[in-house]
């Protein structure tokens, strides 16, 4: 079993039209939830804190590959917590204007 929480309100409290799905997988088989959410244009916060390192690595690699396949973006939020987004949702971090796309190419810069 896994823990999934869907948040449909934006950070400012206003409905942004986007959803964030929090996934805390317990096995590699739980990765289908990640793909389903990304394909539905939802952001995914992936929490791997309670997994063995080898299992966490396999799941994060799968999520990164899935994100790459849809030209999405990814960033690390913590020691074992990651954010994956479809290409319709850009990630902005405090240290840079946008996070690196899952393709590994330099992130596009927002237009001022």
Q: 3-85: what CATH class?
A: alpha beta
**Region 92-105 average pLDDT:** 58
Q: How far apart are CA 79 and CA 46, in angstroms?
A: 11
List, in sequence order, every beta strand (DSSP E) within the chain.
3-7, 20-24, 43-47, 73-78, 81-85
Other beta carbons within 10 Å of 24? 18
**Region 18-27 average pLDDT:** 92
Q: How far apart are CA 44 and CA 86, in angstroms?
A: 9
- Tokens representing 41? 């244009």
- The 10s digit of each residue's pLDDT in 38-97 is 999 999 999 999 999 999 999 999 999 999 999 999 999 999 999 999 999 888 877 655
Q: How far apart are CA 35 and CA 11, in angstroms?
A: 23
Q: Is the pTM of this model over 0.75?
A: no
């Amino acid at each position: 079993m896994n823990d999934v929480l869907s948040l449909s309100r934006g950070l400012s409290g206003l409905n942004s039209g986007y959803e964030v799905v929090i996934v805390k997988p317990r096995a590699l088989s739980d990765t289908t939830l990640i793909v389903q959410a990304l394909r539905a244009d939802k952001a995914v916060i992936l929490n791997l804190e309670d997994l063995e390192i080898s299992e966490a690595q396999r799941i994060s690699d799968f999520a990164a590959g899935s994100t790459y396949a849809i030209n999405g973006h990814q960033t690390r939020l913590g020691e074992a917590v990651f954010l994956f987004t479809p290409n319709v949702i850009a990630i902005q971090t405090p240290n840079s204007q946008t996070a690196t796309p899952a393709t590994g190419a330099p992130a596009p810069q927002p237009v001022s």
